[in-house]
Amino acid sequence: MKPVYALLFLVFSSVSVFAQKKVELRFNTDGVCGMCEKRIESALLDIDGVWTADWTIESHETWVVYNPKKVSELDLQRAVAAVGHDTPLVKAKDEDYAKVHACCKYRDEQVVKAHGG
Amino acid sequence: MIKRLVFGSLCFLSLPLFGQVDTSLYQSLQIKEVTIREDAAGLSIDSKSAQLDLNISRTELKKAACCNLSESFETNPSIDVAFTDAVTGTKQIQLFGLAGKYAQIQVEMTPLVRGLLANSGLQFIPGTWVQGIQLTKGIGAVNHGPESMTGQINVELLKPEDLVDAAAAPDSEGRGDVLLNGYFNQGGRFEINEAYGVRLNKKWMISSLGHFSGRQRGTDVNGDGFLDNPLGYQVNGMLRARYFGQNGWEGLYTFHALEDVKQGGQMANAFAPGIGADQLWTSQIKQGRLAFTAKTGWVNPDLPEQSFGSIVQVYSHELGVQMGLPKGTAPSSLYSQLRGIQNGGMAQVLYYHGWGALVQTSALILQHDAYQVGLDRLELGNGRPWVENNVGLSTEWTYQTEERFTAVLGMRVDAHSIAGNQFSPRFHMRWEPWTSHTFRVVAGRGFRMAQPLLEEYGRLASQRFIRWEQYGQVLGGDLLSMESATNMGLSYSHPFMLNYMAGGIQADLHRTQFQRAVIHDFYTPGERSIYPVTIRDWPGSIPLQSISAGISINYNLNKRSELRMAYRYQDLKASYYSDDVNGNGLMTLPVPFVAPHRLMVHYSRSFKGGVVMDVTLQRYGKQAIPGIDPSIRPAIDYAPAFHLLSAQIRHEFKGGDLYIGMENALNVTQSNPIDGAVSPQTSQPLLPSDPYFQSHFDATRIWGPIFGRMLYLGTNIAL
Q: Which one of A8, A13, A38 would you mutate to disrupt binding with B, by most B Cβ within 10 Å of its Cβ?
A: A38
What confidence score (pLDDT) does residue B600 get? 93
Out of A4, A38, A114, closest to residue B617 by CB: A4
**HSE (CB half, 13 Å, CA atoms) of B652?**
17
Q: Give dist(CA B150, CA A112) in Å, integer.
A: 47
Q: Give dist(CA B256, CA B314) in Å, integer.
A: 10
Q: Give dist(CA B530, CA B544) in Å, integer.
A: 14
Which chain A residue shows the shortest CA-CA distance from B37?
A: A34
Which segments of chain A does DSSP mark as H helices, in order? Answer: 2-15, 34-45, 73-82, 94-98, 109-114
Amino acid identity of residue B42, one-letter, is G
Q: Give dist(CA A25, CA B308) in Å, integer.
A: 48
Closest CA to B137 of B207, B198, B76: B76
Amino acid identity of residue B413, one-letter, is V
Coil, strand or helix: which one is A69? Answer: coil
Query: Are the Cβ atoms of A17 and B172 closer than 8 angstroms?
Result: no
CA dihedral B82, B83, B89, B90 (to 10 degrees): 0
Q: Has residue A12 been placed in a domain?
A: no
Q: What's the structural domain count of chain B?
A: 1
The pLDDT tens digits for B466-518 are 988 888 788 888 999 999 999 999 999 999 998 899 999 999 999 999 999 99
Q: Annotate B563-578 with b (16+ C-beta within 10 A) or e (fewer).
A: bbbbbbebbbebbbbb
Q: Tally C-beta pairs within 8 A across A and B.
A: 62
For residue A11, pLDDT over 70 is answered with no
Q: Give dist(CA B74, CA B89) in Å, integer.
A: 16
Query: Are the Cβ atoms of A38 and B645 closer than 8 angstroms?
Result: no
Compute the nearest-CA separation of B563 from chain A (Å): 8
Out of B169, B499, B605, closest to residue A103 by CB: B169
Instruction: Centre a 10 Å sphere on the Cβ of residue A28 and count the other Cβ atoms it contains.
Output: 11
What confidence score (pLDDT) does residue B308 get? 86
CA terminus-to-terminus distance, chain A: 56
Using DSSP bridges, classify how beta strands B103-107 and B151-157 pair: parallel, antiparallel or unpaired: parallel
pTM for the whole thing?
0.86
Burial label for B512, CB within 10 Å (0-12, 13-18, 19+), is: buried
Out of B563, B608, B645, closest to residue A3 by CB: B645
Compute the nearest-CA separation of A46 from chain B (Å): 7
What residues of B are in the A interface, CB distance below 8 Å?
31-32, 35-37, 39, 169, 171-172, 499-501, 557-561, 563, 601, 603, 605, 608, 615, 617, 643, 645, 665-666
Closest CA to B412 of B646, B598, B142: B142
Alpha-carbon distance values, B522 to B221, B530, B583, B589, B635 (Å): 27, 9, 20, 11, 8
Compute the nearest-CA separation of A35 from chain B (Å): 8
What number of helices (H) and strands (E) belong to chain B?
7, 36
Query: At how many degrees (to 10) do helices A34-45 and A73-82 cross?
Result: 130
Name, in order, each residue with C-beta under 8 angstroms of A1's C-beta and a sequence gap of 6 or more: none
Query: Are the Cβ atoms of B665 and A11 closer than 8 angstroms?
Result: no
Query: Are the Cβ atoms of A114 and B31 closer than 8 angstroms?
Result: yes
Amino acid identity of residue B281, one-letter, is W
Instruction: Centre a 10 Å sphere on the Cβ of residue A98 and count the other Cβ atoms it contains.
Output: 10
Cβ contacts (< 8 Å) between A17 and chain B: which residues? 558
Which chain B residue shows the shortest CA-CA distance from A32?
A: B32
Compute the nearest-CA separation of B669 from chain A (Å): 16
Which chain A residue shows the shortest CA-CA distance from B600?
A: A4
Query: Are the Cβ atoms of B603 and A11 closer than 8 angstroms?
Result: yes
Out of A11, A51, A115, closest to residue B500 by CB: A51
> Residue B114 is part of which domain span?
2-718
Q: Give dist(CA A105, CA B7) in Å, integer.
A: 28
Q: Has residue A7 been placed in a domain?
A: no
Query: Are the Cβ atoms of B563 and A22 closer than 8 angstroms?
Result: no
Out of B32, B36, B615, closest to residue A7 by CB: B615
> Residue A60 is part of which domain span?
21-114
Compute the nearest-CA separation of B31 from chain A (Å): 6
Out of B31, B563, B665, closest to residue A116 by CB: B31
Query: Are the Cβ atoms of A50 and B559 closer than 8 angstroms?
Result: yes
Compute the nearest-CA separation of A91 from chain B (Å): 24
Cβ contacts (< 8 Å) between B35 and chain A: which residues? 33-34, 37, 57
Instruction: Centre a 10 Å sphere on the Cβ of residue B300 and count the other Cβ atoms it contains.
Output: 14
Sign of CA dihedral B9, B15, B21, B26: negative
Name, in order, each residue with C-beta under 8 angstroms of B601's C-beta and a sequence gap of 6 or more: A4, A7, B563, B564, B565, B566, B616, B617
Q: Has residue A10 been placed in a domain?
A: no
Which chain A residue shows the shortest CA-CA distance from B644?
A: A3
Compute the nearest-CA separation of B81 from chain A (Å): 20
What confidence score (pLDDT) does residue A25 get? 93
Name, in order, each residue with C-beta under 8 angstroms of B215's C-beta and a sequence gap of 6 or more: B187, B188, B189, B190, B229, B230, B231, B232, B233
What confidence score (pLDDT) does residue B580 get? 62
Q: Which one of B4, B27, B30, B35 would you mutate to disrupt binding with A, by most A Cβ within 10 Å of its Cβ?
A: B35
Query: Are the Cβ atoms of A10 and B615 closer than 8 angstroms?
Result: yes
Q: Has residue A86 been placed in a domain?
A: yes
Cross-strand pairs, B252: B242, B295
Sign of CA dihedral B695, B701, B704, B710: positive
Query: Are the Cβ atoms of A7 and B605 closer than 8 angstroms?
Result: no
CB B394 within 8 A of CB B413: yes
CA dihedral B340, B342, B343, B349 (to 10 degrees): 180
Q: Residue B458 belongs to a domain with what CATH number?
A: 2.40.170.20
What confidence score (pLDDT) does residue B39 get? 38
The pLDDT tens digits for A68-83 are 999 999 999 999 999 9
Q: Which one of A1, A2, A4, A12 would you mutate to disrupt binding with B, by most B Cβ within 10 Å of its Cβ?
A: A4
Compute the nearest-CA separation of A81 from chain B (Å): 19
For residue A19, pLDDT over 80 is answered with no
Query: Are the Cβ atoms of B171 and A101 closer than 8 angstroms?
Result: yes
Q: Residue A106 belongs to a domain with what CATH number?
A: 3.30.70.100
Q: Which residues of chain B register pLDDT less than 50?
A: 1-40, 167, 169-176
Closest CA to B13 of B366, B489, B410: B410
Compute the nearest-CA separation of B374 from chain A (Å): 49
Amino acid identity of residue A30, one-letter, is D
Q: Is the previous residue joined to A103 through a cis bond, with omega within 30 degrees of 0?
A: no
What confidence score (pLDDT) does residue B172 get? 41
CA dihedral B536, B538, B539, B543 (to 10 degrees): -90
Q: Which one of A7, A22, A37 would you mutate to disrupt binding with B, by most B Cβ within 10 Å of its Cβ?
A: A7
What residues of A are in the B interface, CB distance below 8 Å?
3-4, 7, 10-11, 14-15, 17-18, 22, 33-35, 37-38, 45-46, 50-53, 57, 65, 101, 103, 114-117
Cβ contacts (< 8 Å) between A10 and chain B: which residues? 603, 605, 615
Q: Give dist(CA A32, CA B650) in Å, integer.
A: 31
Q: Give dist(CA A103, CA A80) in Å, integer.
A: 18
Rg (CA), chain A: 17
What confidence score (pLDDT) does residue B37 get? 34
Query: Are the Cβ atoms of A4 and B501 closer than 8 angstroms?
Result: no
Q: What's the structural domain count of chain A?
A: 1
